[in-house]
Structures are given as structure tokens and as C-alpha cells.
Amino acid sequence: VSSCRGQKLAGGLRVAARCPPRRGAKMRSSCVLLAALVALAAYYIYIPLPSSVSDPWKLMLLDATFRGAQQVSNLIHYLGLSHHLLALNFIIVSFGKKSAWSSAQVKVTDTDFDGVEVRVFEGPPKPEEPLKRSVVYVHGGGWALASASTSWSPSDEIRYYDELCTAMAEELNAVIVSIEYRLVPKVYFPEQINDVVRATKYFLEPKVLEKYMVDPGRICISGDSAGGNLAAAVGQQFTQDASLKNKLKLQALIYPVLQALDFNTPSYQQNMNTPILPRYVMVKYWVDYFKGNYDFVEAMIVNNHTSLDVEEAAALRARLNWTSLLPASIVKNYKPVVQTTGNARIVRELPQLLDARSAPLIADQVVLQDLPKTYILTCEHDVLRDDGIMYAKRLESAGVEVTLDYFEDGFHGCMIFTSWPTNFSVGIRTRNSYINWLDQNL
């Protein structure tokens, strides 16, 4: 049996021995450390969420993952290794990239339309329909994320959008064109719009439609989030373009971002800290899109950029009067935030804020009245909810037929989260509802 009594020397002196720590002490230390790590992880992951949101704990985990990726990318930016948006996009794409891969039902090819990278998904042919319908799809991601075309591997696409476009092609027996427009910080507004315009115009050429066997009278433009913004802007532009022989039959906008004049609509106030798009993050995306100064962010959050003394915004404010555009059930007890004096420098340096190409919600009524039948999907737990509702109201007032599809348990981005481990029940329901509307109307 080992002993830790030490050694006895001449004269009766004893030298103390260094005994190894007992196994029980080691175990206790490990348990304390583990408990501390678990507590820290729980503190980082947990955020208070409304009880009505879909799969709250799964959403917390998703949000914590995204926040972690943002913090890593910010550190990379701080160290001068890369722009934070390039780093964040690389992280996101690395977790879910997918090369072009055809299945028995859907043929997938990567190509370019007038110099713009696209991925084309061709659904199974129907003998009774020699010509297919088609959707031009514009992905979201704050004009800066969710595409590998500006990353290390130009042939890869984030799998969430790949899965969505594959499902659309198969279920609709359609040709889906996913546009890989260039991203911030490689290019800034309005280059993203220009890419979508060029690619869509090329696709609408008779010889290209004939190649893909697409019916020129059954084409829709669609997109989610920032992609919904680009789709709406292109839709407005095409209505004014007399040179286009083939017109769009439909537009379908999924929780679109449509204005940057008021960051205190009821949904912005209600969901200012709601994942996965808090208000602060959305305002930063706008500033990045315009290559603006981050010092403007805090002022824009409180609407200092559109205060009463900013004359350039005065004429547009009525088009965003949410007290009249939104129903009472949405307005509730929220009050408009209108500053008497603000920071006129913001609009002077970023006049793009007042450009209808960046903010389709503020377009003239004469532009809106020529738009095609429209589908708008909105979610309760989303800062952009009211952008979509107000746009639907303005379109209806202009005589456009609109379907407003509202999901009480939805959150921003939910429609692309339909497969394990990020499969949300509301993601599956929103995707099914969206595809069903396309099936019935396209």
C-alpha cells in the first residue's frame, strides 16, 4: 500500500512528501468546471422568446450559432484578416454548401446569364405540357450573405436555397433560375439590382426561353428578405421597361425588406431583439449595402435620418404612414417615433435611402398600379413584418391583386429551414403555402 507519510531522517526529523491529489478531488474539480461551462453555454443560448414562436428552443440554438459566427467574423475583421461580411459568408457557406447535383427528377446546372452566375433547376417534363412555367428566384442574406459565388468555391450554393429550388422545380414541374448576384463588400447598391436585371432580361429572351422550354406567359420573379427587396425592385423596373417583349406574370415576396426610412414600425419595436434578425443587425445591413458609416447606425435606429427637419424625407413620409396603412390589430399601442430635429448629414451622404430602387415601398402610385398579381408572406416575429403588410396595402390601393400570407408563429428566415437539424414546423408550412400559391396562380 502506498504511503504519503514522508521520509524519516537522522535525528528524528521527517521530510514531508508531495502526495498526488486524491481521485475524488479531481472528480469534484471536473464537475465544477463542467457545471460552469454548461451554465455559461445556457446563458449564451437562452433568450426570452414569445410562447407563440415555432420551436423556441431550436430557434435559440440557431440564433446562438449565428451570433457565434458573427462574433468570430467580427474578430477576424478586427485583426485585419478579412472583411467581417466575407468571413461571415464563408462560415455560413462552409456549414451548408452544395455543388450542382442532379436527381432523377430535377436536372441542375451552373451557368451564367449575361455574365451573372445562375443555377438552373429543371423539373420533370409533363407530356400534356410541352412548355414549363418558371420562377426566377433571388436569395436573401442582407445583400451580403448566403451565396458562394464570391467565396472560395464558385460552383457551390448554400444548401438551404438549393433544397428550396429543387422542391419548387419538382413540385411545380418548373424551371427555377436561382441568381447568384454579387455581394457586399465586393459591390454595393445598385450593383445587386443590376445583376438581377441583367440575368432576368437574358432569361426572358425568346431564344433562351425556347432552350429551357419555358412558357413566356408563365414566369414569376420571387425572393426572400433582401432577395425579396431585389425582386420587388426589378418587378417595378420591368413594368416601366417598354423594350421587354415578355412580361412577368407574378411576383412572390417572402418577408421582404422594403424600406429604410422608419425603423420604429410596430414590428421593429416589438421584435427589436428577436432572432434571427434583430433591428440593430438589419440597420447595419442597410449601412453596409450603401457603403455607409457605422457611426450612423444608432442615429438611424431612432429615426434621426428622417426627422422633421430633413426636407428630403418629408415628401415620402406619407407613403410610410403606418398608423393608416396597418390594421389596428397590428398597431396596438405602439406610437410613431418622429424626431423634430435629427441628423440631415445621413441622407446627404446616403441618398440611396430615399431611392425607390432600394426601398420599393416608397415608389410612386403610378409605378405600383402596373405590377402583376402579388404574393407577400409575412411573419409575426420579424422586424420586417410591417414592411410586407404596408406594401400589400399600397398595392391593393393601386388596384393590384394581392395575397397576404401571414404566419403567427413565423420568424425571419423560417421558410428555408425545413431539413434536419434546422427543421422548423413553420418552415415546412410556409414553404408548402408558398409553393401551393405558385401552383395555383402560375
- Please identify every residue annotated as catalytic: 225, 382, 412
Say how many residues make up the chain: 442
Q: Which residues pair with 107 in a beta bridge?
A: 122
Q: How far apart are CA 383 and CA 257, in angstroms?
A: 9
Helix pair 23-45, 56-78: axis angle to 10 deg: 90
CB 367 within 8 A of CB 391: no
Q: How far apart are CA 153 and CA 28, in angstroms?
A: 48
Q: CA 395, 398, 400, 404 torsion: positive or negative?
A: positive
Q: Which residue has the cell 464563408?
A: 90
Q: Which phi and psi angles does 411 have, rounded to 5°?
A: -135, 165
CB 300 within 8 A of CB 346: yes
Which grid coordinates are listed for 96?
451548408
Burial class of residue 114, CB neighbours in 10 A (0-12, 13-18, 19+): middle
- Cα first-last separation, the chain: 85
Q: How far apart are CA 33 and CA 14, in angstroms?
A: 36
